[in-house]
């Protein structure tokens, strides 16, 4: 029994499934005024795809893959900086209104 | 990589994932919303730094260059944009995430060894083939769908629904083509049709279906669509996350995917619209609602 380990895919899939439930429950109570900021922060967070782009752009050797990776890093960076900055801006306006 | 480094990396990704959960939670209520944004930023910094510390990443020039250029552009846009243009900005940002997912999946396909997903012969593992093709398909749909959503919200394109004749049949054929193409790619990694690799055919069909799914949806329903596309970008990220066996990406993708779907449902309820009928505008099996509306 000790020599047999669970297929890593099953473990990843477990994490995936549980995270779906977390996402499901976490946003139910959101106030309507926060819909757009929530959307923009979610968008910024989904730019964590940059992790894959970094791996693609990381090797020393030049390749198409490295170029694609670098472009993907740039696109994700627009999102990360833009997304969090614009969310902060929206939230500061929201506070003033109150 | 030593065992300790591998473990520390996994823990760091887990911390990033938890911070993203707290970020979404924070954004659900006004009192905690700013704190939520900050949790998101910290999570992102941890995820990026952890990845860059990976010993397989040895060349930093392009990485730093791309982050600086992209970051500066994003920051300037965020500062200059008018608050009234927020919905189309979010749509534009989604298209970038979709495109980034496409590029990452494409580079994993072209260079599987640097992602550690191929055997010595260069054959990509079956599971990775499924994950990367789902990632590229959903990423492509997110991109082209978001471009249309942006154009409609920004007024570059009329907000009126564009109903192609036989659009449901076209969409069903395209969908079948995508699913069939992925199946063929999984069975035979080197399959080419008319000299074009099956992987690129799947990608092209996905770009096309993304356009076609969104053009029949009216401008008033666009915010819901933007939220749905947000959800898609999450699923695409999760697909790539499985390919890379990266917890942060898998958790974040699932989180964004499900919360985006729920948010679009909540928005529909807020607008007193039926979720199904908004989505049916584009996806519909029979288009009964649209026809009834026109008649």
Q: Which residues of A touch B125 (CB under 8 A)?
A: none
pLDDT at B288 over 50: no
pLDDT at A98 over 50: no
pLDDT at B294 over 50: no
Mean pLDDT for B173-179 is 88
Neighbouring-strand partners of residue B124: B118
* Other beta carbons within 10 Å of B111: 21
The string of DSSP codes covering B45-86 is HHHHHHHHTSTT----HHHHHHHHHHHHHHHHHHHHS-GGGH
Mean pLDDT for B92-110 is 91
Centroid of chain to Cα A59: 23
pLDDT at A41 over 60: yes
Higher-confidence residue: A56 or B166? Answer: A56
Residues 6+ apart with CB under 8 A from B62: A57, A66, A69, A70, A73
Give the model's pLDDT for residue A96: 55
Give the model's pLDDT for residue A78: 95
**Residue B194 backbone phi and psi in degrees, to 5:** 50, 40
Out of B110, B226, B252, the one facing A46 most closely (by C-beta) is B252
How far is the C-alpha of B170 from the C-alpha of B166, rounded, in Å?
Answer: 6
CB contact under 8 A, B93 and A40: yes
* Other beta carbons within 10 Å of B51: 26
Cα distances (angstroms) measured from residue B66 to each of A48, A68, B62, B128: 15, 11, 6, 27
Give the model's pLDDT for residue B175: 87
Give the model's pLDDT for residue A82: 93
Mean pLDDT computed over every residue of chain B: 83
Give the model's pLDDT for residue B255: 92
How far is the C-alpha of B189 from the C-alpha of B46, rounded, in Å?
Answer: 35
Asked if B19 and B42 count as a contact pair (C-beta separation under 8 A), the reply is yes
Element holding A71 (H helix, E strand): helix A64-97
Instruction: Determine the 3-state secondary structure of B196 from DSSP.
Output: strand
Q: Which residues of A touch B103 (CB under 8 A)?
A: 53, 56, 68-69, 71-72, 75
**How many A-B residue pairs are in contact by the CB < 8 A criterion?**
352
Out of B111, B223, B255, the one facing A22 most closely (by C-beta) is B255
Give the model's pLDDT for residue B100: 93
| CA end-to-end distance (rounded Å), chain A | 61
pLDDT at B286 over 50: no
% of chain B at pLDDT higher than 90: 26
**Residue B118 backbone phi and psi in degrees, to 5:** -125, 155
Q: Which residues of A touch B33 (CB under 8 A)?
A: 34, 37, 91, 94
How far is the C-alpha of B55 from the C-alpha of A5, rounded, in Å?
Answer: 26
Give the model's pLDDT for residue B39: 94
Mean pLDDT for B186-203 is 79
How far is the C-alpha of B246 from the C-alpha of B238, rounded, in Å?
Answer: 9
Closest CA relative to residue A26, chosen from B248, A97, A34: A34
Does A91 reach chain B within 8 Å, measured CB to CB?
yes
Give the model's pLDDT for residue B281: 56
How far is the C-alpha of B259 from the C-alpha of B264, rounded, in Å?
Answer: 9
- Provide the ipTM: 0.90
- For residue B168, give how far its alpha carbon lies from the nearest alpha carbon of chain A (Å): 29
Q: pLDDT tens-digit profile of B106-149?
A: 998 888 877 777 777 778 888 888 888 988 999 999 999 999 98
Structure tokens at B128: 């990775």
Mutate to test the interface with A, among B14, B103, B125, B229 (most CBs of A within 10 A): B103
Q: pLDDT tens-digit profile of B1-51?
A: 678 888 888 899 999 999 999 999 898 888 888 899 999 999 999 999 999
Closest CA relative to residue B198, chosen from B184, B187, B212, B214: B184
The string of DSSP codes covering B119-159 is -TTSPBPHHHHHHHHHHHHHHHHHHHHHHHHHHHHHTSS-S
CB contact under 8 A, A23 and B230: no
- For residue B20, give how far its alpha carbon lies from the nearest alpha carbon of chain A (Å): 7
Give the model's pLDDT for residue B289: 41
Does A97 reach chain B within 8 Å, measured CB to CB?
no
Torsion angle of alpha carbons B109, B115, B116, B118, nearest 10°?
0
Higher-confidence residue: B163 or B58? Answer: B58
Q: Which residues of B touch A14 (CB under 8 A)?
A: none
Instruction: Determine the 3-state secondary structure of A19 from DSSP.
Output: helix
């Amino acid at each position: 029994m000790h020599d047999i380990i669970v297929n890593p895919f099953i473990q990843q899939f477990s994490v995936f499934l549980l995270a779906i439930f977390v996402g499901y429950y976490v946003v139910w109570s959101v106030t309507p005024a926060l819909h757009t900021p929530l959307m923009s922060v979610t968008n910024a967070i989904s730019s964590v795809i940059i992790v894959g782009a970094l791996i693609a752009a990381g090797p020393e050797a030049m390749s198409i893959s490295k170029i694609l990776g670098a472009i993907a890093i740039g696109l994700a960076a627009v999102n990360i900086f833009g997304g969090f900055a614009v969310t902060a801006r929206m939230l500061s306006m929201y506070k003033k209104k109150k | 990589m030593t065992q300790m480094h591998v473990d520390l990396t996994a823990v760091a990704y887990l911390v990033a994932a938890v911070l993203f959960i707290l970020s979404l939670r924070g954004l659900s209520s006004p009192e905690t919303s700013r704190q939520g944004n900050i949790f998101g930023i910290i999570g992102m910094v941890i995820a990026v730094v952890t990845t860059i510390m990976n010993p397989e990443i040895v060349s930093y020039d392009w990485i730093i260059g791309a982050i600086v250029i992209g970051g500066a552009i994003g920051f300037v846009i965020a500062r200059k944009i008018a608050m009234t243009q927020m919905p189309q900005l979010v749509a534009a940002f989604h298209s970038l995430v979709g495109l980034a997912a496409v590029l990452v999946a494409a580079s994993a396909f072209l260079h599987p060894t640097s992602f550690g997903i191929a055997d010595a012969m260069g054959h990509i593992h079956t599971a990775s083939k499924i994950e990367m093709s789902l990632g590229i398909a959903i990423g492509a749909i997110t991109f082209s769908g978001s471009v249309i959503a942006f154009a409609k919200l920004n007024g570059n394109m009329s907000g009126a629904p564009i109903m192609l004749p036989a659009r449901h049949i076209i969409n069903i054929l395209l969908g079948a083509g995508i699913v069939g193409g992925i199946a063929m790619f999984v069975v035979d990694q080197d399959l080419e049709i008319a000299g074009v690799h099956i992987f690129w055919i799947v990608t092209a069909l996905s770009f096309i279906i993304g356009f076609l799914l969104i053009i029949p949806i009216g401008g008033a329903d666009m915010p819901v669509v933007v939220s749905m596309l947000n959800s898609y970008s999450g699923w695409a990220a999760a697909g790539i996350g499985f390919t890379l066996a990266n917890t942060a990406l898998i958790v974040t993708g699932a989180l964004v995917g499900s919360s985006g779907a729920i948010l679009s449902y909540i928005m529909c309820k807020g607008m007193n619209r039926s979720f199904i009928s908004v989505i049916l505008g584009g996806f519909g099996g029979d288009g009964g609602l649209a026809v009834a509306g026109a008649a």
